[in-house]
Amino acid sequence: MASHAGRQVSPATHLLEELGVHLDPELLVLSLTHRSFAHEAGGIPTNERLEFLGDAVLGLVAAEALFRRHPDRPEGDLAKMRAASVSQRALAAVARRLSLGDYILLGKGESQTRGFDKDSILSDTVESLIGAVYLSHGLEEARSFVHRLLDSTLDAAADLGAGLDWKTSLQEAAAERNVGAPEYTSEGEGPDHARIFTAHVIIDGEILGTGQGTAKKHAEQIAAEQAYVALTGR
């Protein structure tokens, strides 16, 4: 489809294999068309309508899954877990696992500012793909698709803290165990347009988690999740 900063982009068929679903080629292209690309191409349709539809499907599937998995949790807890599961951060993490940024059609300006790695663009594109699957195959296949993408996130939602992120959860877990507050260190390598950050979490003098990402906050979240698992055994 396109390349970013000289990176080779895999064929769209590879993306569909990763997604485990079939989509009509035109619908797939539409689901990947960001408004910046559409504007530069003369006002062709964007993925925003599909995103609107996918957001609704995602909310329903996530709510149903959490309702069934946690029969004893009150409505307030379920609402927080759903918010964590379908948050921009959570969906962007799913997109990065799929290397979805390699396939999104972006305008030149958005590409130059690394739009292919922005949480907002990545999460919106995940929702547009969910909308496309719903249009093509109906609710049952869309439900299965959402579960393939988000089951691990839905499972983890029950453990996330009040801040709905791993750094907050780790801080709460450390406080409960009286082991001192987590400390973070990070360093970046590479040129500005392709910088990679490595973050470490230190608790009680020991490195419990390490993460890498294209932004410091992403690296710290990954490191915090690793440390949370090490500290709690979950």
Enzyme catalytic residues:
55, 127
- How far apart, in whole angstroms, are the C-alpha atoms of residue 87 and residue 89? 5
- Residue 60 near residue 146, CB atoms below 8 Å: no
Residues 85, 215, 172: CA angle, nearest 5 degrees: 50
- Residue 102 near residue 10, CB atoms below 8 Å: yes
The answer to whether 127 is annotated as binding is yes
- How far apart, in whole angstroms, are the C-alpha atoms of residue 124 and residue 54? 9
The answer to whether 124 is annotated as binding is yes
- Reading the block at residue 17, the tokens are 């294999």
- Residue 50 near residue 132, CB atoms below 8 Å: yes
DSSP per-residue codes, 71-137: TTS-HHHHHHHHHHHTSHHHHHHHHHHTTGGGT-B--HHHHHTTGGG-HHHHHHHHHHHHHHHHHHH
Known binding site for Mg(2+): residues? Answer: 51, 124, 127
Known binding site: residues? Answer: 51, 124, 127
